[in-house]
Amino acid sequence: MEVYIRHLEKVLRRYVQRLQWLLSGPVLCSRTWYRQSMDRGVMMTAASGSRRLFGTVLESKVCILLDTSGSMGPYLQQVKTELVLLIWEQLWKCCDSFNLLSFAESLQSWQDTLVETTDAACHEAMQWVTHLQAQGSTSILQALLKAFSFHDLEGLYLLTDGKPDTSCSLVLNEVQKLREKRDVKVHTISLNCSDRAAVEFLRKLASFTGGRYHCPVGEDTLSKIHSLLTKGFINEKDPTLPPFEGDDLRILAQEITKARSFLWQAQSFRSQLQKKNDAEPKVSLS
């Protein structure tokens, strides 16, 4: 029982580390990029990280689809900063090739095809990001059609704050046709989790293609989680994690809850055994 409890405590510590990694993560970047980013007003702290907004990039050949419609105006500056972080923290470090595509009433692609992930390409992509502006409608279908045309594409990461300007069913049907020809996963990221219709559409789109749905955690929830991580998850009276919208965080939180339940049960059994042993009379061998 003692060995089992020690293993459960070790599992919980790893789960907590994974939760911290998904919510922030260290920024891994070159000194040159750091210096140039600061010169351009891109603020970065040691606690910042692209996984909080974009989730984890899983494939090696990817395209990032960024909604730049009018409704994205309040979020765009922060999204641009986070996108620069994504380029250096995940794409530069983990991907073989990538492309960027913004969509509103029309499409703007950084390159015509996926390009090799080099220092020079990442610097060019960062420059392209700084010029993005928010205006017009949300042409998600056109963006998906364009992205699916990129050769060797493995994964799409679609960030938006709402539903498409066309029928959601039409988008899903068209993506199904595209998927019959190419096995490309579409991972979706919602910036407006209060729009339940948009959330449901993005969940379906991700699930439909074998991708993941992600919704960044708000500042209030982050503060609560930081408090929980500081206090720990071992005792039964410790607070529980808040509900998460995104697939990765939600599944991890479920695993943490399950592990805590097993730990408390094991601790209870150990306590009962100890009481039983203490209550049994001592047998003299003399």
Give the SS3 label for residue 207: helix
| DSSP category for residue 217 | P
* Cβ atoms < 10 Å from Cβ of 153: 22
Please report the pLDDT score of residue 25 as a whole number.
45
Among 181, 172, 26, which residue's Cα sits nearest to residue 90?
26
Among 177, 189, 183, which residue's Cα sits nearest to residue 209?
183
Higher pLDDT, 194 or 262: 262
The predicted-structure confidence for 152-174, as pLDDT tens digits, reads as follows 999 999 999 988 888 999 999 99
Domains in the chain with CATH codes: 1-8+221-275 (no CATH), 53-216 (3.40.50.410)
Please, what is the average pLDDT of the chain? 85
The predicted-structure confidence for 191-246, as pLDDT tens digits, reads as follows 888 888 899 999 999 999 999 999 988 777 777 777 676 666 666 677 778 788 89
Residue 270 corresponds to which amino acid? R
Question: Would you say residue 33 has pLDDT above 70?
Answer: no
| The two three-digit tokens of residue 216, written as one number | 């960044």
The predicted-structure confidence for 64-116, as pLDDT tens digits, reads as follows 999 999 999 999 999 999 999 999 999 999 999 999 999 998 999 999 999 99
| Phi and psi at residue 281, to the nearest 5° | -70, 145
Among 205, 188, 245, 217, which residue's Cα sits nearest to residue 67?
188
Q: Hey, which bits of 30-184 come out as E strands? A: 61-67, 97-103, 107-109, 115-116, 155-160
The predicted-structure confidence for 37-60, as pLDDT tens digits, reads as follows 434 433 333 334 788 899 999 999
| 8 Å CB contact between 120 and 102 | no
Please report the pLDDT score of residue 113 as a whole number.
97
